[in-house]
């Protein structure tokens, strides 16, 4: 009940300040754009793949891998003849040959195998009572499904999903493992096939594999494959995986989260990051599992490939309601942040600031937690000298801080010397960031007004060269930037500031503001 | 990617679009721009012209226009860095690059969607093959355990299972990968080590006009000026110059032939281009012969005019030619016709005697009507002087427009103004060369020569501009090589530094390759500057499209130079 409702309240609060959930949403989109860009970069070279096919031999890598292949390769036609014979041995040999072709390093002939019509045969072999041929067929199909969406579709349309699910509980571990792997590839294609795998009832047998007292009895490869396939069942949005399946999987994920193999841990954390990347009710399901404290522990594990997904999961959680954010804070997440905010991996640093920005978007008590954890100086540091993408996130953290923080908290922020580095960033070319900074400045002035210290703020801004920067923005091509800077100038920097003195006494009658005015002297620095 | 059919892959693309035309500040770029503008007028293509002086400028210009434009044409800029990385454009922005800067960045070469290079393939490009420098995602995805070391990326949605014996193969593969990477670094190092210039942008665009059968004499003249700019500013080898002159000469004969039967071939407003084997004396037809000889690098260096001995030799030379001093010192236009007749032959004969065997060079001249005659190099000097004018505090944009204007034959006034400015500039250069040589300002630093123009040197403001400083640097090195007795020093490259922005306390630093007849004009200072700046964390700005020109904080000069010496020794 409260999840959705609370969310609404929080959104309203933002809307009043001109910041709403759209801002947060926009930021996720931005991440997507970035990913798309990365993908695009791949595509640049895709067309080139074709040419490398032609002159394969020129690559030093290719020569090496060919040298290693001692056994002669079958042609697809030979394989076709073999699987269509009535002799089980011939079928096995042909299947193995197909598997070998599909397992070679470069340019496996997936499409050729598909167009030769081998898939129905291979799927049929999954149901034979012969473990060797089951295994070879499962492996071959796994590799076909590892290709493009069309190639995965060919496997699914051949009826492979139910056949693989039956094999999950095969008494032969290597066959079971191969079936799990294949299902992972199919589910990894996207929401549609993921849900088909779930609908065919894959979850229960998969989980049953792990329903043993001691996980460490498994080989690490086997356990890792199961974890990875489970994570693919949690992966992808629009739509998210069915709630019932998620609830079914979560207890197992919690258990895996306490396993000691770091690759298993990484995949489990990725699964959790997928599950938390969604609306608040989805976040709530994960929060209720009670795994946050373990996730926070993993934040401090020092292994980049475990820290990255656990931070992503934590970061996703604090995009939720204030209560959900509070649960993260209660688990002591902030104590891990000094390390994360200074992490040597700039990408991790950026994600940490993104997370922080959503925490400072919360209640003032939560902002106080950020202060108490000693994170404000780190924020200022990064504004001063940091990776640009990280700085953009830090700017958000500051602006959210100034919009939700109490006057005291804002005063603290100013005393931590935030103004100069923040204003310096106004010289960036990105107008969105400029607007966010101007918002922060406006918020700081609002706090200054409340304690009658706007004049002092003006002086500080002028001294660090910020006024020149704001003035320069009045000729910015972006209209919003121009307006925002004009507003600031008109309100605070044009001649005598008569208004402020009128406003100040009104507020000093208020007990709260009166209390603050004691701080006036410390506002100086 | 390289465009193979400039008409289909470039012109047909933009002809119905709005185009942003980003043009670098050099004469060749201006000429290419003029030709393209004329074509665009012809076909009523809407375009916006934006002059850009450096990378920052280019970035700003792109940001300002990326909303309104999809197609960007970059002239003499953009080829030698990873453009997509620099500008971070959206996927639908498309860049057509016509740039002489070499080497072309490999990512630009192998991007098939957004970067279209209008660069002649027969230029000596030497681009590494794709497989030597890029590996496909698939291969990298193959060694997933190797990838985890740099960690933290999302696991792949699908995984293929490889054959048995994978572990050994993986070790083998990692070894091969390391070898491949080492080789890649080596290949890229070799490829990117030297900076040089390729075929003139104006010639490339002229070729487009020709293919479209829309070429005019004006366009041809601009192509000639573009090529001549490369010669005047010493950007290409003599061989390349002569080859390209021959190409243009064929176009000139074609155009002249076309107009032969028309009666107006000598009317007032007609334009006639002619191939000339003319004197290497700067602006001599618009000056006095004497002043031109004094202020041309070729003659001044050969006579060593900075010395008393040199001045005496000059007098002897004039006497040898048998020309009266009075004639020689008066305006060329007013010289007696009898003297002017055979002048080139007379000068050539005496020059040969004085060791100046190359006093004549293949070039082109133009007649506008009867009165106005210009050599291609005259126009280059005039346009360059206008482009880098320091006369009044005019913005780079104004200078750009003026320089562009002086190329139109309807604007001879401006051209004459430019010639006057160019004379001042050449005199300033000669005086500075003389004073640097006479006061031994060129120091040998071991691996290179170094000259620093102090603040307060006359005309120092002029030399804060890249083209003027380049010219000074080239002339200075020639003069130094003539004057020094130290044989080792004759083979050294030269770095020159001059005050750039007094308020910001910065200097402009520029390096040129050693002076020699057979020089390949390849310049390694770009890389060296980058490395030296990096290793000393000097505050440098590598903003110029030529990487061998940088801006440096005055205080960091010493440590920067020390690092360069260590690096190059």
Higher per-residue confidence, B312 vs A58 = B312
Q: What is the mean pLDDT of residues B302-321?
A: 93
- Report CB contact under 8 Å: A64, B60: no
Among residues A17, A16, A20, A18, the alpha carbon closest in space to that of A7 is found at A20
The answer, for A51 touching chain B at a CB cutoff of 8 Å, is: yes
How far apart are the C-alpha atoms of A171 and A264, rounded to whole Å? Answer: 23
The DSSP code for B270 is -
Residues 121-150 of B with CB under 8 A from A: 129-131, 134-139, 142, 148
pLDDT on residue B202: 97
Report yes or no: B101 and B76 within 8 Å, Cβ to Cβ. yes
| Residue B259's pLDDT band (cuts 50, 70, 90) | low
In a mutagenesis test of the B interface, which of A145, A305, A392 is the best target, namely the one with the most B β-carbons within 10 Å? A305
Q: A473 CA to chain B: closest CA distance, Å? A: 15
Beta strand pairing call for B71-75 and B94-98:
parallel
- Report CB contact under 8 Å: A61, B110: no
Q: Is the pLDDT of residue B301 over 60?
A: yes
Residues of B in contact with A477 (CB under 8 A): 64
pLDDT on residue B262: 56
Nearest to A68 among B113, B152, B165 (CB): B165
pLDDT on residue A57: 32
Walk along chain A (525 residues) and give the pLDDT tens digit of each residue.
444 444 433 333 333 333 343 343 333 334 433 433 344 344 333 222 222 333 333 333 333 333 444 456 788 899 999 999 989 999 999 999 999 889 887 788 999 999 999 999 999 999 999 999 999 999 999 999 999 999 999 999 999 999 999 999 999 999 999 999 999 999 999 999 999 999 999 999 999 999 988 888 888 889 999 999 999 999 998 899 999 999 999 999 999 999 989 999 999 999 999 999 999 999 999 999 999 999 999 999 888 989 999 999 999 999 999 999 999 999 999 999 999 999 998 889 999 999 999 999 999 999 999 999 999 999 999 999 888 889 999 999 999 999 999 999 999 999 999 999 999 999 888 888 999 999 999 999 999 999 988 889 999 999 888 998 998 888 888 888 989 999 999 988 886 544 444 444 444 434 343 344 444 444 444
pLDDT on residue B135: 76
Report yes or no: B277 and B362 within 8 Å, Cβ to Cβ. yes
Nearest to B136 among A49, A178, A303 (CB): A49
pLDDT on residue B165: 61
The answer, for A105 touching chain B at a CB cutoff of 8 Å, is: yes
Q: How many CA atoms lie within 13 A of A115 on its CB side?
A: 4
Report yes or no: B366 and B354 within 8 Å, Cβ to Cβ. no
Beta strand pairing call for B449-452 and B494-501:
parallel
Report yes or no: B444 and B489 within 8 Å, Cβ to Cβ. yes
Reported as type and span, the H/E element at residue B368 is strand B360-368
Report yes or no: B125 and B102 within 8 Å, Cβ to Cβ. yes
Chain B residue with minimum CA distance to A236: B157
Q: B51 CA to chain A: closest CA distance, Å? A: 19
Nearest to A42 among B137, B148, B158 (CB): B137
The model carries a pTM of 0.60
How far apart are the C-alpha atoms of B475 and B479, rounded to whole Å? Answer: 6
Pull the structure tokens for residue A249: 């999987």
Number of helices (H), then strands (E), belonging to chain B: the values are: 25, 16
**What are the structural domains of chain B?**
251-427 (no CATH), 441-568 (3.10.310.40)
Q: Is the pLDDT of residue B394 over 80?
A: no
Report yes or no: A435 and A422 within 8 Å, Cβ to Cβ. no
Q: Is the pLDDT of residue B395 over 90?
A: no
How far apart are the C-alpha atoms of B313 and B302, rounded to whole Å? Answer: 10
- Report CB contact under 8 Å: A58, B131: yes
pLDDT on residue B134: 83
Q: B533 CA to chain A: closest CA distance, Å? A: 19
Among residues A269, A165, A274, A267, the alpha carbon closest in space to that of A220 is found at A267
pLDDT on residue A431: 86
Q: Is the pLDDT of residue B157 over 50?
A: yes
The answer, for B176 touching chain A at a CB cutoff of 8 Å, is: yes
How far apart are the C-alpha atoms of B478 and A214, rounded to whole Å? Answer: 83
- Report CB contact under 8 Å: B130, A44: no
Q: Which residues of B224-261 are buried (b: 16+ CB within 10 A; e: fewer)?
A: bbbbbbbbbbbbbbeebbeebbeebeebbeebeeeeee
**What are the structural domains of chain A?**
76-200 (1.25.10.10)
Chain A residue with minimum CA distance to B134: A45
Q: What is the mean pLDDT of residues B495-502?
A: 93
How far apart are the C-alpha atoms of A461 and A419, rounded to whole Å? Answer: 7
pLDDT on residue A69: 41
- Report CB contact under 8 Å: B159, A146: yes
Report yes or no: B85 and B64 within 8 Å, Cβ to Cβ. no
Number of Cβ within a 10 Å radius of residue B358:
13
Inter-chain Cβ pairs, chain A and chain B, closer than 8 A: 119
Nearest to A145 among B134, B135, B158 (CB): B158
Q: Residue A444 contacts by C-beta under 8 Å, 6 or more apart in sequence?
A: A402, A410, A413, A414, A419, A457
Q: A281 CA to chain B: closest CA distance, Å? A: 24
| Residue B108's pLDDT band (cuts 50, 70, 90) | very high
Residues 326-355 of A with CB under 8 A from B: 345, 347-348
Pull the structure tokens for residue A450: 């409340």
Reported as type and span, the H/E element at residue A160 is helix A160-168
Q: Is the pLDDT of residue B415 over 70?
A: yes
- B442 phi and psi, to 5 degrees? -90, 120
How far apart are the C-alpha atoms of A464 and A448, rounded to whole Å? Answer: 17
Provide long-range contacts, Cβ within 8 A and 24+ apart, for A80-86.
Answer: A80/A116, A80/A117, A80/A118, A83/A118, A83/A121, A83/A122, A83/A125, A84/A121
| Residue B129's pLDDT band (cuts 50, 70, 90) | confident
Please give the full DSSP string across A200-266, using - where no structure is assigned. Answer: TT-HHHHHHHH-SS-GGGS-HHHHHHHHHHHHHHH---SSPPPHHHHHHHHHHHHHHTT-S-HHHHH
B9-49 pLDDT per residue, tens: 999 989 889 999 999 999 999 999 999 999 999 999 999 99
CA distances for A123 relative to A95, A148, B426, angstroms:
11, 19, 84
In a mutagenesis test of the B interface, which of A59, A62, A183, A302 is the best target, namely the one with the most B β-carbons within 10 Å? A59
Residues of B in contact with A69 (CB under 8 A): 163
The DSSP code for B11 is I
CA distances for B443 relative to B446, B452, B459, B493, B495, angstroms:
9, 9, 21, 12, 10
Nearest to B157 among A44, A69, A188 (CB): A188
The DSSP code for B152 is -
ipTM higher than the 0.95 cut: no
- Report CB contact under 8 Å: A48, B110: yes
Query: Before B514, cis peptide (omega within 30)?
Result: no
CA A452, A456, A458, A459: dihedral to nearest 10 degrees? 170
Q: Whole-number mean pLDDT of chain B? A: 89
Chain A residue with minimum CA distance to B144: A263
Strand, helix or coil at B387? Answer: helix
């Amino acid at each position: 009940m409260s999840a959705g409702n609370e969310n609404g309240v929080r959104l309203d609060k933002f809307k009043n300040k001109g910041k709403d959930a759209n801002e947060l949403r926009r930021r996720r989109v931005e991440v997507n754009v970035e990913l798309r860009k990365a993908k695009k970069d791949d595509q640049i070279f895709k067309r080139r793949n074709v040419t490398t096919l032609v002159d394969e031999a020129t690559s030093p890598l290719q020569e090496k891998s060919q040298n290693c292949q001692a056994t002669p390769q079958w042609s697809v036609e030979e394989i076709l003849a073999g699987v269509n014979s009535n002799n089980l041995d011939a079928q096995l040999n042909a299947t193995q040959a197909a598997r070998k072709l599909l397992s070679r390093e470069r340019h496996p002939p997936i499409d050729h195998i598909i167009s030769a019509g081998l898939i129905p045969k291979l799927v049929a072999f999954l149901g034979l009572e012969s473990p060797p041929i089951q295994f070879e067929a499962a492996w071959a199909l796994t590799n076909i499904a590892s290709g493009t969406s069309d190639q995965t579709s060919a496997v699914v349309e051949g009826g492979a999903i139910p056949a693989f699910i039956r094999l999950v509980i095969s008494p032969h571990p290597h066959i079971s493992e191969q079936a799990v792997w294949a299902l992972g590839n199919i589910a990894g294609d996207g929401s549609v096939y993921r849900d088909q795998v779930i609908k065919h009832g894959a979850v229960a047998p998969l989980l049953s594999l792990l329903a043993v007292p001691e996980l460490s009895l498994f080989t690490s490869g086997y356990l890792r494959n199961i974890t990875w396939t489970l994570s693919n069942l949690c992966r992808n949005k629009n739509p998210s995986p069915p709630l019932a399946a998620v609830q079914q999987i979560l207890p197992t994920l919690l258990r895996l989260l306490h396993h000691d193999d770091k690759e298993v841990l990484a995949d489990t954390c990725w699964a959790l990051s997928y599950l938390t990347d969604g609306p608040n009710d989805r976040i709530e399901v994960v929060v209720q599992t009670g795994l946050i404290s373990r996730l926070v522990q993993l934040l401090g594990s020092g292994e980049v490939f475990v820290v990255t997904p656990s931070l992503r999961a934590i970061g996703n959680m604090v995009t939720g309601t204030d209560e959900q954010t509070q649960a993260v804070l209660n688990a002591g997440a902030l104590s891990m942040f000094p390390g994360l905010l200074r992490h040597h991996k700039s990408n991790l640093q950026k994600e940490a600031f993104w997370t922080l920005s959503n925490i400072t978007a919360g209640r003032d008590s939560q902002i106080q937690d950020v202060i108490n954890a000693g994170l404000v100086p780190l924020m200022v540091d990064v504004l001063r000298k940091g990776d640009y993408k990280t700085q953009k996130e830090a700017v958000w953290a500051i602006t959210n801080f100034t919009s939700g923080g109490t006057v005291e908290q804002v005063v603290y922020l100013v005393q931590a010397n935030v103004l100069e580095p923040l204003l310096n960033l106004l010289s960036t070319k990105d107008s969105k960031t400029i607007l966010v900074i101007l918002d922060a400045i406006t918020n700081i002035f609002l706090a200054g007004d409340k304690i009658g210290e706007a004049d002092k703020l003006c002086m500080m801004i002028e001294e660090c060269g910020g006024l020149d920067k704001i003035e320069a923005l009045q000729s910015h091509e972006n209209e919003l930037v121009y307006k925002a800077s004009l507003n600031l100038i008109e309100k605070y920097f044009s001649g005598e500031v008569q208004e402020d003195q009128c406003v100040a006494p009104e507020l000093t009658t208020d007990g709260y503001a009166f209390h603050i005015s004691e701080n006036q002297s410390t506002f100086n620095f | 990617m390289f465009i193979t059919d400039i008409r289909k892959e470039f012109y047909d693309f933009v002809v119905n679009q709005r185009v942003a035309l980003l043009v670098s500040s050099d004469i060749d770029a201006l000429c290419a721009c003029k030709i393209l503008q004329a074509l665009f007028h012809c076909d009523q293509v809407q375009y916006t012209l934006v002059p850009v002086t450096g990378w920052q400028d280019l970035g700003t210009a792109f940001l300002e226009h990326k909303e309104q434009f999809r197609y960007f044409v970059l002239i003499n800029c953009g080829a030698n860095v990873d453009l997509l990385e620099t500008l971070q454009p959206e996927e639908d922005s498309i860049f057509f690059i016509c740039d002489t800067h070499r080497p072309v960045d490999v990512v630009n070469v192998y991007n098939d969607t957004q970067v279209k290079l209008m660069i002649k393939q027969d230029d000596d490009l030497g681009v590494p093959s794709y497989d030597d420098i890029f590996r496909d995602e698939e291969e990298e995805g193959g060694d997933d355990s190797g990838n985890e070391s740099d960690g933290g990326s999302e696991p792949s949605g699908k995984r293929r299972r490889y054959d048995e014996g994978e572990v050994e193969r993986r070790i083998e593969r990692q070894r091969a990968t390391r070898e491949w990477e080492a080789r890649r670094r080596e290949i890229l190092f070799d490829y990117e080590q030297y900076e040089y210039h390729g075929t003139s942008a104006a010639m490339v665009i002229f070729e487009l006009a020709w293919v479209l059968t829309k070429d005019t004499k004006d366009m041809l003249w601009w192509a000639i000026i573009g090529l001549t700019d490369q010669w005047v500013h010493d950007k290409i080898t003599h061989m390349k110059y002569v080859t390209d002159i021959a190409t243009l000469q064929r176009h000139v004969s074609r155009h002249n032939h076309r107009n032969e039967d028309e009666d107006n071939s000598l009317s007032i407003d007609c334009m006639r281009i002619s191939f000339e084997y003319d004197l290497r004396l700067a602006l001599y037809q618009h000056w006095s012969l004497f002043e031109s000889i004094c202020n041309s690098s070729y003659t001044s260096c050969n006579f060593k005019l900075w010395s008393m001995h040199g001045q005496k030799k000059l007098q002897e030379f004039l006497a040898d030619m048998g020309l009266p001093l009075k004639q020689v010192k008066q305006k060329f236009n007013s010289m007696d016709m009898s003297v002017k007749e055979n002048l080139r032959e007379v000068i050539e004969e005496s020059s040969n005697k004085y060791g100046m065997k190359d006093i004549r060079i293949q070039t082109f001249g133009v007649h506008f009507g009867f009165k106005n005659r210009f050599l291609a190099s005259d126009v280059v000097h005039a346009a360059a002087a206008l482009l880098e004018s320091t006369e009044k505090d005019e913005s780079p944009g104004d200078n750009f427009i003026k320089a562009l204007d002086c190329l139109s034959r309807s604007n001879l006034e401006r051209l004459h103004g430019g010639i006057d400015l160019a004379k001042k500039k050449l005199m300033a250069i000669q005086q500075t060369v003389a004073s640097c040589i006479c006061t031994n300002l060129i120091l040998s630093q071991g691996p290179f020569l170094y000259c620093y123009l102090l603040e307060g040197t006359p005309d120092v403001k002029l030399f804060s501009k890249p083209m003027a400083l380049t010219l000074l640097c080239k002339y200075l090195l020639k003069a130094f090589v003539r004057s020094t007795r130290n044989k080792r020093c004759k083979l050294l490259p030269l770095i020159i530094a001059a005050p750039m922005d007094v308020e910001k306390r910065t200097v402009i630093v520029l390096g040129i390759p050693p002076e020699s007849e057979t020089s390949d004009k390849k310049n390694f200072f770009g890389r060296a500057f980058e490395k030296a700046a990096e290793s000393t964390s000097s505050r440098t700005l590598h903003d110029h499209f030529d990487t061998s020109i940088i801006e440096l904080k005055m205080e960091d000069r010493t440590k920067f130079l020390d690092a360069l010496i260590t690096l190059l020794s």
